[in-house]
Amino acid sequence: MKEAKEIYYLPVEQLSDDAIQCIEKVVELLDAIKDDCNINNFSRRFTFIREGKAISDVAEIKKDSNGLNHIYINENFCQYLWSVCIYLNAYFENVIHIPIMDAVGINKYGYKPNLIDVEYANDCFFRGRQLLHNFNRDVYWVTPNICNPQQFENIISHTNGVYCAAIAFIYAHEFSHNYLGHTQIQQTFPHTIDDEIAADDTAISFIQTEYDSAWGNTYKAGVATVLAAILLMSEDSISGDGTHPDMDVRIENLVTKLELHEMDPLWGYLGVALRLWLLVFGGLSIEEDMQQPGFGSYKEIYLFYMEKLKTVRQQRYPKIVKPDWDYSKREWVEQGVSKKNTTVGLENFLKTIKHPNPGYTFAPRIGPIHLMRLSERP
């Protein structure tokens, strides 16, 4: 029997079928996929790109060899994303959430902080961040790992679910570029700031349809984890660099659509990510951080560190430099493409047509990309 390392390029590959299921659960999204496959040159398959180098991109949608708009997700980013997820899960749960429950007397089940989980998650995060600068495949196969969780099965299992929901949001964001007609526009840059905001809004509108389901909180955590992972990539990640909204703007825009109540743990979960960026890149010292007066809710944690992040971003990037293109000169490619916008959105989905399964495959390290539909999986 083959070892997992002989089957998968990186351990995170083992979760690909589960990530597909997370996409499939969002029925509104799949109805829209069927629509776009019929009229908007969209490929119902997508590809995880294997690269033997540092992370070069998160994901993109572009023409494939068949002339269809095809989603590609960078597998190295996926492994990094998983490492951010396990770190935030372990740190928030054991260092913040359980102690707060103890302090206010609501820890009725007697949960105890597991600092061994925190130490392991911190090690995963350290190795995951190496993918931002270099690539060493063997590092990610050190056990325990996704394929061989050993004593960390609980924290890894929980992390896996949130990671899969994060992939569903990334997929929904890239698909939304096609759904809104962005891929049919001839322009200088791949997408504009307005396009990125519209894709975020449309993607979250798909995810919102699952808020009341058993997976609702997991989908919300997935969105939060994507935002955290992108923020924590570098010192410059707070700037949209003229092609994306600045990260404080993007986070605030999406968080308002997560419909979180005052004490929802996700406020604190995101607050941990904001605080970490400020400590590593934003000039916040441990001494200064320790002087803050305390918080009355998880939302206050988020708002406190978001205000600091916003201040740093405004100081370092005071002006948003608009790209050179002229919005008024955009031309639509007249090939039967529907001109959609976010206000049309979900009302026009084809409810009566059975949705297809989006497929996935891995781009091999050498040779051509092999595409595989879900129905073709063994």
Q: pLDDT tens-digit profile of 2-40? A: 899 999 999 999 999 999 999 999 999 999 999 999 999
Q: pLDDT tens-digit profile of 196-227? A: 999 999 999 999 999 999 999 999 999 999 99
**Quick one: pLDDT at residue 319?**
67
Q: What is the CA radius of gyration of the chain?
A: 21
Ranges of residues in the chain whose predicted pLDDT is under 70: 186-191, 319-378
- pLDDT > 70: percent of the chain: 83
Note whether 88 and 20 are within 8 A (CB).
Answer: no
Neighbours of 187 (CB within 10 A): 16
Note whether 62 and 72 are within 8 A (CB).
Answer: yes
Note whether 132 and 74 are within 8 A (CB).
Answer: no
Q: Minimal CA–CA distance to 73: which of 51, 49, 55, 52? A: 49
Helix (H, G, I), strand (E, B) or coil at 231: helix
Identify each DSSP E strand in 75-201 by its residue range.
Answer: 185-186
**Quick one: pLDDT at residue 190?**
52
Q: Are strands 69-74 and 42-49 parallel, antiparallel or unpaired?
A: parallel
- In whole angstroms, give the CA distance from residue 42 to residue 61: 10
Q: Which residues contact 318 (CB under 8 A, 6 or more apart)?
A: none
- In whole angstroms, give the CA distance from residue 213 to residue 220: 11
Neighbours of 193 (CB within 10 A): 20
Q: Which residues contact 81 (CB under 8 A, 6 or more apart)?
A: 163, 166, 167, 225, 226, 229
